[in-house]
Amino acid sequence: MRVFCAAVTSLFLLFFFASSLPAIVEEYTPPPMTEGMYPCSNCHASMEVNRKKRELKEEHTDIKLHHAESMRWCLDCHNANNRDKLRLYNGDLINFTESYRLCGECHGYQYKDWRAGIHGKRVGYFAGPGKRVYYLCASCHNPHDPKFKPLKPEPPPHRPKEDHDARSEQ
């Protein structure tokens, strides 16, 4: 009886404290999809599966694979029978929102760092009740061409003379 009472009390306490804790919202950025492409099954469900490595001439012409392309083709990551899913090496199917698990299969060190918040990017709140927002791998890297593209830098600071000249012109 005593054991039972203790169990009930501890359960009650657990629920009491759990409900009083502020709910922390963790959110991943949505996977970047080309407008109107998803769900892929809209087109692919009625198409025959073609596993041949080839140049895509009719659709997806914007995709140029530069990601170990000599060893890889579409269906190594995209699932052949259900195109709305990605496929892990062991055959498990995952949603596009979980794509980091697929990336992590090859890029283990980066995956480990990403989970700790070191590789990649987090924005929003890191403490308190605010929303935590984590960027997916694909938010920064194009999965078909993951290397970062060079950027135009923001303008350099004024040299002291420029500031002085601007003032004397006024």
Partner 1 sequence: MQDRNNRHYTRREFLRNLSLTAAAGASLPLLSSCSKEETEDFLQKHFREMTPEEKKRVIAKLEERYQQKYGKKFQISTQAAVPDTFWAYGLELSRCIGCRRCVYACVKENNQSRHDPQLQWIRVLRLKRGNLINLENSEHYYNPDLVPEKGFIYLPVQCQQCQEPPCVKVCPVHATWQEPDGIVVVDYNWCIGCRYCIAACPYKGRVFNWAEPNIPKEEINPSVHYLGNRPRMKCAVEKCTFCIQRVRNGRYPACVEACPTGTRKFGNLLDPNSEMRYIIDRKRVFRLKEDLGTEPKFYYFFES
Q: Please tell me whether residue 126 binds partner 1 under the rule CB under 8 A.
A: yes
Hunting for tokens 């999965």 — which residue is that?
Answer: 143
Q: For partner 1, give the closer residue by CB, 36 or 153.
A: 153
Among 3, 21, 49, 127, binds partner 1 (CB under 8 A): 127
Residue 155 within binding range of partner 1, rule CB under 8 A: yes
Residue with tokens 């009472």: 5
DSSP 8-state assignment for residue 85: S
Residues 62-121 that bind partner 1 (CB under 8 A): 116-121
Query: Closest distance between partner 1 and the C-beta of residue 18, in Å?
Result: 20
Least Å distance between CB 3 and partner 1? Answer: 35
Longest dimension (CA), the chain: 90
Contacting residues for 33 by C-beta, under 8 A, at least 6 apart = 96
Buried b (16+ CB within 10 A) or exposed e, 130-159: eebebebbbeebebbeeeeeeeeeeeeeee
Q: Rule CB under 8 A: is residue 140 a binding residue for partner 1?
A: yes
128 binds partner 1 (CB under 8 A): yes
Distance, in Å, from the CA atom of 57 to the CA atom of 34, rounded to the nearest integer, reads 17
Residue 22, interface with partner 1 (CB under 8 A)?
A: no
Interface residues with partner 1 (CB under 8 A) are 116-128, 130, 135, 140, 148, 150-159, 163, 166-167, 170
